[in-house]
Structure 1
């Protein structure tokens, strides 16, 4: 009998009653696991069964059952998110303990790890591999190489699909596999790179030979796979990863909310100010003058995108209020959903604060002077808890690329690079960003607000965790010499934007910049600002060395052969709250400035949009040109030479020229615009 038929009949039998007589919950739980054996194999059964037995406090006898032959199945990039800490020599009665497959492999404590109910709904995204990868990489290299036959010969989405996307036959094979294993609502992205499907834990187990566990993490009920995802040999050359198998580590916005006066230990680096300059907040329109973009025409020939989540109604209303107050034209806006899931609603526990999207949109418009169209690309909900996951964020990136309307796209979001890599989302997103580069689109990504400790999380999930505090001093609880960076800022196919503390003469004349690092503050607070624990984090610009992304050739050529991994950021702009932006949120002007690299990236987007409009939207990914032309030419940018992004002497430190905290520093947009023709002539 086919496994799927066994499962169908089993579920009626073990649904909680037998001939109308209720079964004890213990036997219902055990029956779930026994059926997993029939469909899933002895090795995986033993792992789950011993855990359930110990959790339920019962003694059981192992019954050997026939395993499905899957030894020749092919692994995907999706690794186990839950790693078992039990030694190989442990017997069947050993307690299973788990760690997360992310930075430092943090162990799970004070939580039960149990099998996820087989009926638990799951929304997945299957990411497929490019065809002709060597040809694609060569095309991308030549695309930004003056003198090349491919120089700035951008592809349309249809041309990209014909040359590099999976074929329709390859897609059909994956779709057939999903449907054969019970998935429903199966749909395919227009570029054939992503396949979306709804199912449950049972469908995931049978289709990918993995298992899903449930547990509590950061105060929330979550799940994660404790085995890697596999596919049949016929799909091994097609399927790259399976996203949506965990929802414990999810995307975060890069927004600074804490009050500077509440800092426990402020950063001791002397700020780059003079007697004539000051640290003050700014209107979004000020940044165009500060960074010398206002002398360029407004970006009314350029369409800009923003990756978001949630309802954009309030954001657009606040944007209209802002433009009225700033005497700017009303912005032509659009909201484009990818259709791969359900919209995130206001009870989303991840983050529905409209401040993030208000900051992005108002700073982009204020700095650009206006755009042709501003398009919001909301990521959908990826699980029954209404969270954005890697699966739905990848889909939002991909929709902006398929749409191919936005020349430059802002991303004020990030995740733990280690978890993103182990899940397979890093490679899937890089594939999307490659298509963007091929089409002449630019993704600008905030480098993060957790300094050198993006992968270190507090008990409530805040990044930048360094220890605890009694209110007067900090007790370090992590290895301060172990650094991490955020993804997608670490992708070589995006512009990574770091943060500075800006000083000005008045409010609109640049006077100096220092690395943004506000020091240590309590991290975990309730809805009303009350402390929920004594965990402490730092607020500082992200930057450092990727653990996974290879350094692009243009970065190694500029920085030396010792640079073998992608280093970031590329540039940096104002991110400190004390010097940040006053914006409109829920119809009212904020009482204090808003900061974070969520401010820095939109400043770059708005300024660069002016350049794109002036150059007929022909510039594409500018980082190769930055690394080739900016070294030694400091007249084109503001070199940031003081400050660091760590704690207690650790982290990366600014220096003359490019560095791993501010990149090349902030750009003088007018001077860059004047220099670009000579870059092309090289």
Structure 2
């Protein structure tokens, strides 16, 4: 992907066939100050891999750091370390998760188009961190189309969708290393194609489904809920988006049948936890999404008073590219890289559900954290924009829009 040096953010739009996944490159570059402990380091930069979505075409929620090896102090590694970025041990430490979680469970990852290097890239990631092999040969990994068949697979992903695939598969592996992974590749990025892939994952037995894609919400969403996302006893998880509060609410994150996942900035700290988290907000127009849906009904378990309909998010996890996660993608991104976005947070939360165990039959797993808010790390600092009521976009004690009830503190909040 060509890099652009700009004096101000500017969209570079590329035309794709109508009805396909929006994976338009963004030339806008995010920037963050060098570590205050290492002011001699250059400024960290990154870029969004996908443009903001529409109501008819999905988009990914991924940002990639441009030169991660120059900024390794953010991750507590040395200048010679490969890769930089948070790995499985970091995430397990930050969220108090078992190193052998997910045994006996199947977690589905839903993406559009085919990533031909998905299996080999996943093998590289897992070998790097000493995770057990997860291949088609040993039955741990299964890659299928929306009909549940291993052939024919969809057309190959263009632009930067391969990075999304690798991010999803790597982060599920990091958080639930003993789980089996069902990788369902939708034929395109339309609502019908993505929703059909979700339904297929359920029929194939997955009890946890990671959806790292997003549409702009629309009045049709309640009907899509019934067709694609209402699966009692299945933890369906989706990210709230990467365009901050001002962009609006995204779908399927806003579905009352889905666990909506916001994003945080996860940083090592000298406190008892060893970590600190604030709302992820890189700059205006770039940060975790949140808000009050215009169309979706409020689920009975959500009790905030300022939004009469569905409020996003429910919970949150690591998403800030300035303190991002390590991912291996050879298909389109040249190997090891550091990434952020709610596409990182989403598979983390799907993996935590997998660690927690099979959801109760007929239940709504999105409600589980609301029954156990004390088993989450409450995020109380930061914002993702300007709003009223303040909690729609500003962290506070208890529930708030950007981070919901908080981030995982073990698995207790994700049990039935």
TM class by shorter chain equals 0.7 to 0.9
Task: Tell me the distance in 1 between the aligned counterparts of 2:234 and 2:354.
Answer: 11
- Structure 1 357/258 Cα, relative in aligned 2: closer, same or farther at 3 Å? same
| Deviation by residue 1:84-127 (Cα, 9 ceiling, x = unmatched) | xxxxxxxxxxxxxxxxxxxxxxxxxxxxxxxxxxxxxxxxxxxx
Equivalent of 1:337, from 145, 153, 158? 145
Deviation at 1:248, TM superposition (A): 8.2
* 3-state DSSP of counterpart to 2:97: coil
Alignment pair present for 1:251 and 2:58: yes
Q: Which residue of 1 aligns with 2:223?
A: 427
How far, CA to CA, are the matches of 1:356 and 1:572 in structure 2? Answer: 18
Partner of residue 485, structure 1: 249
Who is 1:658 aligned against? 399
Counterpart CA distance in 2 for 1:642 and 1:334 is: 40
In the alignment, does 2:238 pair up with 1:445?
A: yes
Match of 2:192 in 1: 391
Which residue of 317, 326, 333 maps to 1:582?
A: 326
Match of 2:129 in 1: 326
Query: Cα offset for 1:450?
Result: 0.8
Residue 254 and residue 316 in structure 1: after superposition, are their counterparts in 2 closer, same or farther (change >3 A)? same
- Call closer, same or farther: CA 1:670–1:589 in 2, change over 3 Å: farther
Q: Tell me if structure 1 keeps the 8 A contact 2:112–2:157.
A: no
Unaligned runs of 5+ in 2: 1-11, 20-53, 69-73, 75-83, 135-139
How far has the Cα of 1:425 moved from its partner? 5.2
CA–CA distance in structure 1, aligned partners of residues 191 and 413 of structure 2: 35
Which residue matches 2:163? Answer: 355
Deviation at 1:629, TM superposition (A): 3.6
The alpha-carbon deviation at position 671 of structure 1 amounts to 4.8
Check conservation: 1:293, 1:669, Cα contact below 8 A: yes
Aligned: 1:413 with 2:208: no
Ranked by relative contact order (alpha carbons within 8 Å, sequence separation 6 or more), the top structure is 2
**Structure having the larger proportion of residues in helix:** 1
Q: Note the 1:147-158 alignment, pairs <5 A.
A: none
Instruction: Report matched runs for 1:98-497 at 5 Å.
Output: 220=15, 249-257=56-64, 259=66, 281-294=85-98, 297-331=100-134, 332-339=140-147, 343-346=153-156, 348=158, 351-371=159-179, 373-381=180-188, 388-403=189-204, 405-418=205-218, 421=219, 424=220, 426-434=222-230, 436-437=231-232, 440-454=233-247, 484-497=248-261
Q: Counterparts of 1:596 and 1:314 in 2: how far apart (Å)?
A: 22
Say if 1:401 and 1:672 are closer, same or farther in 2 by CA, change over 3 A. Answer: closer
C-alpha separation between the residues in 1 aligned to 2:96 and 2:16? 48
Q: Deviations over 1:39-67 (max 9, x none)?
A: xxxxxxxxxxxxxxxxxxxxxxxxxxxxx
Contact 1:449 1:541 in 2 (8 A): yes
Any conservation in 1 of the 2:368–2:413 contact (CA below 8 Å)?
no
Q: What number of residue pairs does the alignment pair up?
A: 345
What secondary structure sits across from 2:267 in the alignment?
Answer: strand
C-alpha distance in structure 2 between counterparts of 1:345 and 1:453, whole Å: 34
Q: Hey, what does 2:370 align to over in structure 1?
A: 627
1:643 aligns with 2:382: yes
Q: How far apart in 1 are the matches of 2:318 and 2:295? A: 28
After superposition, the Cα gap between the structure-2 partners of 1:429 and 1:377, relative to the gap in structure 1 and judged at 3 Å, is farther
User: What per-residue deviation string (whole Å, max 9, x for no partner) do you get for residues 421-468 of structure 1?
Assistant: 3xx35512443222x11xx111110111011133xxxxxxxxxxxxxx
- Pick closer, same or farther for the CA change 1:448–1:400 going to 2, 3 Å: same
Q: Deviations over 1:633-670 (max 9, x none)?
A: 3xx21111111112699971111110011001102125
SS in 2 for 1:554: coil
Aligned residue for 1:336, secondary structure, equals strand
Structure 1 residues 643-652 or 590-599, which shifts more? 643-652
Q: Return the alpha-carbon distance in structure 2 between the equivalents of residues 287 and 413 of structure 1.
A: 22
Q: Identify if the C-alpha distance between structure 1 residues 647 and 499 changes in structure 2 by more than 3 Å, giving closer, same or farther.
A: same
Question: Is the Cα contact below 8 Å between 1:286 and 1:367 reproduced in 2?
Answer: no
Q: Distance in 2 between matches of 1:260 and 1:327?
A: 25
Query: How many angstroms apart in 2 are the aligned matches of 1:628 and 1:307?
Result: 28
Q: Provide closer, same or farther for how the CA distance between residues 652 and 260 of structure 1 changes in structure 2, counting only shifts above 3 A.
A: farther
Q: Which residue of 1 aligns with 2:349?
A: 604
The structure with the larger Rg is 1
RMSD: 3.2
SS of the residue corresponding to residue 397 of structure 1 reads helix
Partner of 2:33: none
Match of 1:544 among 286, 291, 301: 291
Normalized against structure 2, the TM-score is what? 0.74
TM-score, normalising length: structure 1: 0.47
- SS state of the match for residue 257, structure 1? strand
Q: Partners in 1 of 2:89 and 2:350 — Cα distance?
A: 13
